[in-house]
């Protein structure tokens, strides 16, 4: 089987490629990534067989590039798994247009190619954030209305609606998996776990948004990779599958766990002005994917400790990916503007 997988130089994409090459035989992957600030080929350097092998090929390019997608589709692919997206809620607040371009128009481009080239299956990686905020005891199932609360989640919700339209109008075979907050190695250090870990190591304060009681359901990235593959291979066309771990943890509690793991001082935690439109809690009901045969295996505390230790022991990776980001003048100004005022 030959698949186009997009967004593979990012966090979940690189973990997915590693997972698939380790666990699935007779699979050839064409990796596509436009190498935005959060995407870097170093995330793929240690995949089995290396970046260029008979099982894996990397192409630097965008899902928005119709000619490029057509060219890839012409060589014959059996499916598309789309992870390419801009993913940081805070950045979406400043640059919502970038999110519409990549997360919505890019998806539409892939959907139209799926129809034109009769590609057998399209899988979209979506998020629990499309349902908006709730309480852990009131999780949303897949039939819940879409009520996105920020400019990132609204772009993801829009993409999900385009998929429904493409199934209906073009008759493509498509499925969606909506995951909760992932954690694990290779996540760009603007997201809370690697960001706070880095700051604790550097002895800097942890800028915790608002009261810190907001809750997220933390899902270990390898568990999500298994969910993605299960939905791609066994999911029913047109269906949506939630994948959550049931590890609801407040941001304050998470910060304390990180401080404790690195044996630092709880005084590093500093409450700062809240994020605009900060959703209180995301929660999903995952019964449907569990019926398909999935359940998360990871113990949250064990994997969180391993993840923190990974970032601590991979400072070279952290420095390298951050250097690339600050090499871009736009990103440098973003870091200045966004993070300086928090400390
Ligand atoms: N991280 C999470 O907790 C989480 C949870 C649920 C769903 N998701 C979804 O999973 C996917 C991957 O998330 P992630 O956390 O790995 O994000 P990430 O930001 O680490 O990686 C995204 C990758 O997409 C690439 N990209 C962006 N625009 C592109 C384009 N136009 N063409 C090609 N590549 C492009 C980037 O260069 C980057 O490598 C996203 O679709 C995200 O919405 C993430």
Q: What is the number of the ligand 1 atom nearest to the C-alpha of 106?
A: 31
56-60 vs 206-209, strand pairing mode: unpaired
**For the segment 172-186, what is each residue's pLDDT rounded down to a tens digit?**
999 999 999 999 999
Go through 261-280 and write b for each residue having 16 or more CB atoms within 10 A of its CB, e for each that does not: bbebeeebbeebeeeeeebe
Residue spans of the domains in the chain: they are: 2-186+218-248+277-300
Mean pLDDT within 160-182: 98
Mean pLDDT within 220-233: 98
Measured CA to CA, the distance from residue 81 to residue 7 in angstroms comes to 9
Other CB atoms within a 10 A radius of the CB of residue 250 amount to 17
The architecture of the domain spanning 2-186+218-248+277-300 is 3-Layer(aba) Sandwich (3.40)
For residue 328, pLDDT over 80 is answered with: no
Spacing of C-alpha 217 from chain mean position: 14
Other CB atoms within a 10 A radius of the CB of residue 335 amount to 15
Determine the 3-state secondary structure of 2 from DSSP. Answer: strand
Distance from residue 145's CA to the centre of ligand 1 (Å): 23
Question: pTM (2 decimals)?
Answer: 0.96
**For the segment 256-294, what is each residue's pLDDT rounded down to a tens digit?**
999 999 999 999 999 999 999 899 999 999 999 999 999
Share of the chain above pLDDT 90, in %: 93
Q: Give yes or no for a contact between 31 and 8, defined as CB atoms under 8 angstroms apart.
A: yes
**For the segment 78-114, what is each residue's pLDDT rounded down to a tens digit?**
999 999 999 999 999 999 999 999 999 999 999 999 9
For residue 1, pLDDT over 90 is answered with: yes
User: What crossing angle do the helices spanning 300-313 and 251-261 adopt, rounded to 10°?
Assistant: 60
For residue 207, the cross-strand partners are 270
Mean pLDDT within 326-331: 48
Number of H helices, E strands in the chain: 13, 13
Tell me what pLDDT residue 343 has: 43
Distance from residue 203's CA to the centre of ligand 1 (Å): 29
215-217 vs 248-250, strand pairing mode: antiparallel
Q: Which residues have CB under 6 Å of ligand 1?
A: 6-7, 9-13, 32-36, 38-39, 62-64, 83-87, 102, 106, 125, 127, 156, 179, 181-182, 188
Query: Measuring CA to CA, how many Å separate 10 from each of 37, 182, 188?
Result: 9, 12, 8
Measured CA to CA, the distance from residue 299 to residue 342 in angstroms comes to 32
Element (H, E) at 219: strand 219-220
| Two structure tokens written together for 285 | 């009901």
Measured CA to CA, the distance from residue 35 to residue 84 in angstroms comes to 10
Measured CA to CA, the distance from residue 167 to residue 175 in angstroms comes to 9
For residue 208, pLDDT over 70 is answered with: yes
Distance from residue 60's CA to the centre of ligand 1 (Å): 15
| Two structure tokens written together for 125 | 């990686």
Question: Whose structure tokens read 């499925």?
Answer: 175
Closest by CA to 282, choosing from 125, 170, 144, 165, is: 144
**For the segment 111-125, what is each residue's pLDDT rounded down to a tens digit?**
999 999 999 999 999
Tell me what pLDDT residue 277 has: 86
For residue 330, pLDDT over 90 is answered with: no
Measured CA to CA, the distance from residue 66 to residue 110 in angstroms comes to 8
Mean pLDDT within 218-240: 98
Measured CA to CA, the distance from residue 255 to residue 267 in angstroms comes to 11
Instruction: Give the CA diameter of the chain.
Output: 57
- Provide the annotated active-site residues: 128-129, 152
DSSP string, 133-189: ---TTS-B-TTSPP---SHHHHHHHHHHHHHHHHHHHH---EEEEEE--EESTT--T
Average confidence score pLDDT of the chain: 95
8-state DSSP, 102: I
Which band of pLDDT confidence, cut at 50, 70 and 90, is reported for residue 337? low
113 backbone dihedrals φ, ψ, rounded to 5°: -65, -40
Atom 32 (ligand 1) nearest CA: 62
Q: What is the number of the ligand 1 atom nearest to the C-alpha of 37?
A: 37
Which band of pLDDT confidence, cut at 50, 70 and 90, is reported for residue 329? very low
Q: Give yes or no for a contact between 270 and 205, defined as CB atoms under 8 angstroms apart.
A: yes
Higher-confidence position of 340 and 82: 82
Q: Give yes or no for a contact between 337 and 293, defined as CB atoms under 8 angstroms apart.
A: no
Tell me what pLDDT residue 325 has: 63
For residue 223, pLDDT over 90 is answered with: yes
Strand positions, DSSP E, 140-211: 174-179, 182-183, 206-209
């Amino acid at each position: 089987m030959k698949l186009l997988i997009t967004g593979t130089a990012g966090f979940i994409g690189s973990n997915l490629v590693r997972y698939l090459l380790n666990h699935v035989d007779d699979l050839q992957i064409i990796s596509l990534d436009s190498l935005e600030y959060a995407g870097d080929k170093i995330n793929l350097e240690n995949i089995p067989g290396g970046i260029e092998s008979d099982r894996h090929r990397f192409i630097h390019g965008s899902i928005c590039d119709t000619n490029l997608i057509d060219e890839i589709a012409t060589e014959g692919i059996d499916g598309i798994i789309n992870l390419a997206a801009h993913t940081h809620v805070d950045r979406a607040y400043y640059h919502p247009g970038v999110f519409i371009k990549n997360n919505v128009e890019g998806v539409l481009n892939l959907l139209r190619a799926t129809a034109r080239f009769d590609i057998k299956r399209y899988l979209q990686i979506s998020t629990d954030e499309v349902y908006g905020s709730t309480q852990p005891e009131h999780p949303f199932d897949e039939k819940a209305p879409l009520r996105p609360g920020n400019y990132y989640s609204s772009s993801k919700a829009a993409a999900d609606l385009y998929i429904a339209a493409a199934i209906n109008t073009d008759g493509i075979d498509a499925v969606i998996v909506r995951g909760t907050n992932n954690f694990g190695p290779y996540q760009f250090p603007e997201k809370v776990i690697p960001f706070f870990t880095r700051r604790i190591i550097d002895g800097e304060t942890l800028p915790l948004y608002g009261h810190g009681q907001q809750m997220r359901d933390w899902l270990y990235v390898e568990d999500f990779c298994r969910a993605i593959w299960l939905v791609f291979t066994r999911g029913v066309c047109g269906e949506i599958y939630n994948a959550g771990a049931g590890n609801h943890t407040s941001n304050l509690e998470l910060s304390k766990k990180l401080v404790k793991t690195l044996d630092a001082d709880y005084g590093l935690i500093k409450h700062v002005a809240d994020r605009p439109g900060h959703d209180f809690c995301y929660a999903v009901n995952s019964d449907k994917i569990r019926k398909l045969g999935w359940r998360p295996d990871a113990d949250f505390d064990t994997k969180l400790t391993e993840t923190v230790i990974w970032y601590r022991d991979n400072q070279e990776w952290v420095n390298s990916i951050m250097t690339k980001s600050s090499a871009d003048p736009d990103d440098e100004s973003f870091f200045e503007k966004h993070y300086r005022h928090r400390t």
